[in-house]
Amino acid sequence: MWGNPVGYVTCEGAGLNAFIYKALVDASILGEIIGQAGEAARLEKEAKALAAAFNTVLWDEKTGTYYSGHYSESDRNNADGSARKMKLKVENNLIEPTMFSALWALDQEIVPAERRARVTAYLLANRVQAERVMTFYYLFKQLYQADNDALDREVLDTLRTRWKSQAEFSWQTTWEEFTGGSQAHCYGAFPAYFLSAYVLGVRPYLPATRRQILIEPHLGDLTSAAGTVVTEGGPVSVSWKKENSALLFRVEVPAGITATLRVPKINAGGKLTLAGENVPVTSTADLSRSTSTLGFMKVE
């Protein structure tokens, strides 16, 4: 990936190994689904072995994150011109950590639960290293997972500034880079996903066969947002509006879909009103009596 300082370096990179780990995990799940239990078990075993090696060899206890990769002496001796331009320090055959190794380890879920807080803290402290377009696809996911109003606003501000030229471009296309490169390219298109999945807040629980969705808006400094998100279970229409101290919303969920509605924290003395009725916070409400499109909704 462009911007990754070891992107063109032949090594046992943290990013590459994290993606291979997740591919093995996903393949194991698919094997179970299609009845290949033996292959699924073998792939799961390989995934666990890779995760153990990753978290042993590449873990840097001092910084609380992962080295960028294992870079053997033979690989260094055979490095091509692009690799020789790498400015990162190599010590004991390990390339110093960067934001990218933390980012992809978190994204591909190879970080053990007990390390997630430290790796996330390192990522957030070094996110200034994100400069080129595709890095933000992965970074936005981690910023939203932090569930922090300031970081929600940061994502919106990044879209407003870095994507301004694309949004105003006469071709109405997205670009390969913020500046330069192709001006009709898929790389710059992913803000549409985040506006749907995180700002409007409609995301399916996986696997899609569960027929369950999460509705969790991250409005940042927006006072209103509305749209229809296409999911595997059908279109989900939502609208949100901040009015004084209240958040007004309407949600339409396809029949046969269970939705969990996760709203911003309600302050002491506040209340939640659904379909004209007051509902205790952290409760379950059956809204099918008020409109057939809402079905059953769990409120958290």
Q: How many percent of the chain have pLDDT more than 90?
A: 73
Would the pLDDT of 71 be above 60? Answer: yes
Burial class of 293 by CB neighbour count within 10 A (0 to 12, 13 to 18, 19+): middle
The domain spans of the chain are 1-129, 131-199, 203-299
Cα(291)–Cα(1) distance, integer angstroms: 47
pLDDT tens for residues 267-277?
767 788 877 77
Q: Which residue has the higher pLDDT, 259 or 122?
A: 122
Burial class of 271 by CB neighbour count within 10 A (0 to 12, 13 to 18, 19+): exposed
pLDDT tens for residues 143-157?
999 999 999 999 999
Would the pLDDT of 161 be above 80? Answer: yes
State the pLDDT at residue 74: 92
Which pLDDT band, with edges at 50, 70 and 90, does 287 fall under? very low
Residue 238 pairs in a beta bridge with: 227, 251
The topology (CATH level 3) of 1-129 is Glycosyltransferase (1.50.10)
Work out the average pLDDT over 167-178. 96
Q: Which class is domain 203-299?
A: mainly beta
State the pLDDT at residue 284: 53
pLDDT tens for residues 277-286?
787 765 555 4
Q: Which helix (H) or strand (E) holds 43?
A: helix 37-57
Q: Which two tokens stand for residue 169?
A: 């471009």
Cα(41)–Cα(187) distance, integer angstroms: 35
Would the pLDDT of 297 be above 50? Answer: no
Cα(272)–Cα(266) distance, integer angstroms: 8
pLDDT tens for residues 197-247?
999 999 998 888 888 999 999 999 999 999 999 998 899 999 999 988 888
State the pLDDT at residue 95: 97
Burial class of 14 by CB neighbour count within 10 A (0 to 12, 13 to 18, 19+): buried
